[in-house]
Structures are given as structure tokens and as C-alpha cells.
Amino acid sequence: MKYVNFPGTEEKVSVLGLGTWVFGAENWGGADEQQSFLAVEKAMELGVNFIDTAPFYGNGLAEKIVGRAIKKCRDKAFIATKCGLIREGGWVSHNLSPESISREIELSRQRLLVDEVDLYLCHWPDPAVAIEDTVEALLKLQKQKKVRHLGVCNFDLNLLKKALRVGPIKVLQVQYSLLERETEKELLPFCLEKGIGVMAYGVMGGGILTGKYLEKPQLAKKDARRMFYAFYQGEKFEKSQKLIHRLQGLGHPLNQLALNWVRQQPGIMTALAGCRNVAQVAENFGAIDWDLSSDELERIGELEKF
């Protein structure tokens, strides 16, 4: 495994991280809890120390699985979890109020079996709450030694700048892949300039960049690949297949190519890979055994942007 310094520290975090949304068993066609547990163990065996989770993933199930898996090796795991997405019956609301954050961190600590979360992120913006109040609440948790570092997910440049005026935001988590490159316009250059680590999710386009979907799959209504990733719909699916065909000409496993392309981009701290079992962990994190050459990076860069 390769490692980089976490922003502003000498602490090492793996350039490939384990994403755990699938562990929630709701939005990715189901998941087996024991297989999820073994996936965490296998990832750490391969040197992955960065594990990303959230209360939203299975209403706390993913956090519980991660907590059990790292219980005996806490010092070897760098755990990121989140706040701000609240389930209310069949609805999900955004709530980054200080009161809600205070409740959420206690529940996350209990599920993860940790006293202190390594990285605590706002999952999505909440326009109903001033970002200044949100960051002040996070700073309070930091002073109480319930969280070590602060980050945000899915913030645009303007909101990120506002958050930075209040406190030290160390990480931005965004969707970034060969199929979703909007972040290259403003966010990546800004984070690179300011020394903010970028954690990329959706690196394999919700699975489409594995190349296994040669035809549009029939997906359940709540499947994340249907409701969250646009690449499975309409003309975007056809366009994604054309890109995949051209990438196949490079002769690398597509899933590993997608991961390596992202992790080798300037400013990227960690590229996340979602894995539902040990086999997928081995397949995806095998990407660390090789790099795209400068020539290959240039050739990929010349392909038409999605």
C-alpha cells in the first residue's frame, strides 16, 4: 500500500480507502453482514487504514460492522464518519444544527466502539443552518476530544470557503471519476492551493467503470445506482460504454484503472473503493501494485470528457 500525510500532520493514510455504503444493505442490492466484516479485515490486511463510513449507511449498520472489525486493531485504522443526514420515518432530512450534531456523534462513537473519531465530516450541506454554527459545533467536539479532524462532503466552493473562515477543514469529500469530473474546474485547484486533502468517492462510477454492465441493468427503485449515479440512465449510459471501450484498449483491469487514474490526480489524498466481500477487496486494491504511466495518463486525459 502507498500512503500520504494527512493534511497538516505526519500521520500516514492510505491512498486507497475502503468505502462502506454497501454495508448498509439497502441501496446496493443487499449485503451480507459477515462478508462485510471480512471485507474490512481483508482491506486492513492489505494495508488499507482509511475506512469511510456514515450513520446513513443502513441506519448505523455500516458503522457497527466497522466498529466490530477494528475493535482489536484500533490503532491501525483511520476512521472517517459523518453527520447531517437524518432518517425520519421514510424520509431523509438534512440537519447540521449543533443539537443534532451533538446527538449524532454520541451514537457514532457507540456504534464504532471508539472514544474519538479520526475524521468527522458534514455529509451534505444544510441550507437551513448557518455554516458558521455548524463548524462551531464541530470545533466544540474537537475540544472535547470526541473528534480529531474536521471535514465536509459535497460542498461547493463558496460553502467550503465559508466553512474555512470558521475552522480548520482538513478534508473535502466529493464524487470524482472518469465519468464525473466537475470538481476539476474549481474545487480541486482550490484544495490543492490550500492544502486540503480531497477524498474521492464514486471513483468507479457506482460500479459502471468495472465494465460488467454491457447492457442497462434492471435496478430496484432505491438502488443507489439508479437514484444517485446518472450514468445508468438514457444517453449517459451509452456514452459511458463508449468511454469504457476506449479505456479497455490500455490493457488494464478497468476497476483498477479507474481507481489509479483518480488517485494519481494532483490533490487527491485518498480514492475510495466500495467492496461487498473479500474477493472485491482483492480485485480493487490490487490497483496499488501498479501505476498508470505518464503516457497513459496523457492518453486518458485526451479522451472526451464525459
Q: Could you give the number of structural domains in the chain?
A: 1
What are the beta bridge partners of residue 146? none
What is the DSSP code string of 146-206?
SEEEEEEES--HHHHHHHHHHS-EEEEEEE-BTTB-GGGTTHHHHHHHHT-EEEEE-TTGG
Residue 2 maps to a domain? no
Query: Do the domain assignments include residue 5?
Result: no
Q: Angle 283-289-291 (CA atoms, 0-180°, nearest 5)?
A: 110
- The reply to whether 4 falls in a domain is no
Contact 258, 209 (CB under 8 A): yes
Q: Round to whole Å and give the CA distance between 115 and 145.
A: 8
Q: How far apart are the first and last CA of the chain?
A: 30
In a domain, 6, yes or no: no
**32 domain residue, yes or no:** yes
Evaluate whether 200 touches 268 at the Cβ level (below 8 Å): yes
142 falls within a domain: yes
Residue 3 included in any domain: no
Q: Which of 57, 120, 229, 232 is flagged as catalytic?
A: 57
Q: What pLDDT tens digit does each residue of the chain (306 aa) get?
A: 999 999 999 999 999 999 999 999 887 778 899 999 999 999 999 999 999 999 999 999 999 999 999 999 999 999 999 999 998 877 889 999 999 999 999 999 999 999 999 999 999 999 999 999 999 999 999 999 999 999 999 999 999 999 999 999 999 999 999 999 999 999 999 999 999 999 999 999 988 999 888 887 777 777 777 677 778 878 888 888 999 999 999 999 999 999 999 999 999 999 999 999 999 999 999 999 999 999 999 999 887 665
Domain span including residue 239: 11-302
Q: Please tell me the distance from the alpha carbon of residue 73 to that of residue 126, in angstroms, as a whole number.
A: 35
The CA distance from 154 to 63, in Å, is 20
Predicted confidence at residue 295, as pLDDT, reads: 95
C-alpha to C-alpha distance for 26 and 48, rounded to whole angstroms: 25
| Nearest C-alpha neighbor of 31 from the set 287, 224, 208 | 224
Residue with grid cell 474519538, as numbered in its chain: 116
- 232 an active-site residue? no
CATH of the domain at 286: 3.20.20.100
User: Does 74 fall in a domain?
Assistant: yes
Q: How far apart are CA 111 and CA 114, in angstroms?
A: 8
Nearest to 236 by CA among 213, 253, 257: 213
Report which secondary-structure segment, H or E, holds 270. strand 268-274
Closest residue by Cα to residue 19 from 27, 7, 8, 11: 27
